[in-house]
Structure 1
Amino acid sequence: MNFVQPIRDLEKLDKIKAYLKMKNERDYVMFLLGISTGLRISDILKLKKEDLLKTHIHIKETKTTKAKRVKIPGYIKKEIVPYAKKLNDGDYVIKSRQGGNKAIDRSTAYRILRDAAEHVNLTEIGTHTLRKTFGYHFYKQTKNIAMLQELFNHSDQHVTKRYIGINQDDLDDAMDKYRI
């Protein structure tokens, strides 16, 4: 399994958004949900039309089976609500093109993300990249690791910092400053 990083560079993040928006609205919405809510890809793929038309997403996490309530940030509502309204009631948001009402699978989500990452020359990419990107930028904006720890249901702040790559950033900065 590859080790993936958050997308730290806001310019590359914007280029991926533009690429996906131009290429496929469904994939763009998947990306937006991942980087804006911090949900795992397995939970994003379970979302249905009705979930996007509310102020909060209510789910039972696939990995932990814990009930979770996540606010949909207002800045993405204008992007995802018009998309959701085009769907039929009960449709999966990230619907497969294979027919029927089925969501894409994780491997398809990975291929979509890998293609977008190649477009901007990113290599350390995976489905967890979306969640890590959310966490990284949430932490950089708020400096509230305790809140992020709770959002992610992590047991320890050190786990959260390592997960979002803050520890690596600190190590990299220290190495840049090191002289002998």
Structure 2
Amino acid sequence: MNFVQPIRDPELIFYIKRFLREKSERNYMMFVTGINSGLRISDILSLRVRDAKRTYFNIFEIKTGKKKRIDMTPQLQREFKTYVEGKEDHEFLFKSREGLNQPISRSMAYKILNDAADYASLDDIGTHTLRKTFGYHFYKQTGDVAMLQKIFNHSDPAFTLRYIGIDQDAMNKAMKGFKI
């Protein structure tokens, strides 16, 4: 498995959002949900319409089996209000066109993100990019690695910083300033 990076540039996030929205509201909302919640793709794809009608997600993480409550950002709440209009509570939020009320697969989510990454000329993108992008920007805005560590359920703040690419930023900056 390749190591994926967060999307660091807010302008690229804007372009990707615009690209995805033009293609499909579902794909756009999957991306927006990921970068605004920090949820893993497996947890995002298991969400149903009823989950988006609250101001928070109340989930059992698929990877850990732990119950987790995550408040939605105001932006995500606004986006969902329109997106769930006319949908039934039991429907998956990110429905596949295949089968009856089935969510899209992880591989389809990857294809959607990879298509957007190609459009934006980004490398090292995968489904985990959504979670890492949330973490990167959360840390940049708050500077609170302890809170982010708790949100991600990580045991070590150094791991959290490495996970969201902060260590990579520091290495890149050091290399740019290096002279012999």
Identity, in percent, stands at 53
Give the Å deviation of 1:26: 0.5
Scaled by the length of structure 2, what TM-score is found?
Answer: 0.98
The code of the aligned residue for 1:158 comes to A
Unaligned runs of 5+ in 1: none
Question: Which residue pairs with 1:150 in the alignment?
Answer: 150
Scaled by the length of structure 1, what TM-score is found?
Answer: 0.98
Runs of 4+ in 1 over 6 A off after TM superposition: none
3-state SS, counterpart of residue 85 of structure 1: coil
Count of residues in Structure 1 that have an aligned counterpart in Structure 2: 180
The separation in 2 between residues aligned to 1:72 and 1:158, in whole angstroms, is 26
Give the Å deviation of 1:147: 0.2
Question: Which residue pairs with 2:84 in the alignment?
Answer: 84
3-state SS, counterpart of residue 89 of structure 2: coil
Question: Which residue pairs with 1:58 in the alignment?
Answer: 58
Question: Which residue pairs with 1:4 in the alignment?
Answer: 4
Give the Å deviation of 1:128: 0.2
Question: Could you list the per-position Cα deviations for residues 93-116 of structure 1 after superposition, in whole angstroms to 9, with x for gaps in the alignment?
Answer: 011101301101100000000001
Question: Which residue pairs with 1:171 in the alignment?
Answer: 171
Give the Å deviation of 1:41: 0.3
Give the Å deviation of 1:76: 2.0
3-state SS, counterpart of residue 70 of structure 1: strand
Give the Å deviation of 1:130: 0.2
Give the Å deviation of 1:179: 1.9
Question: Could you list the per-position Cα deviations for residues 27-72 of structure 1 after superposition, in whole angstroms to 9, with x for gaps in the alignment?
Answer: 1110000000000000000100010000110000011111100011
Are 2:138 and 1:141 aligned?
no
The separation in 2 between residues aligned to 1:177 and 1:129, in whole angstroms, is 27
Question: Which residue pairs with 1:27 in the alignment?
Answer: 27
The separation in 2 between residues aligned to 1:123 and 1:173, in whole angstroms, is 19
The separation in 1 between residues aligned to 2:151 and 2:66, in whole angstroms, is 12
The separation in 1 between residues aligned to 2:31 and 2:83, in whole angstroms, is 13
Give the Å deviation of 1:81: 1.6
After superposition, residues 83-162 of structure 1 pair within 5 angstroms as 83-162=83-162
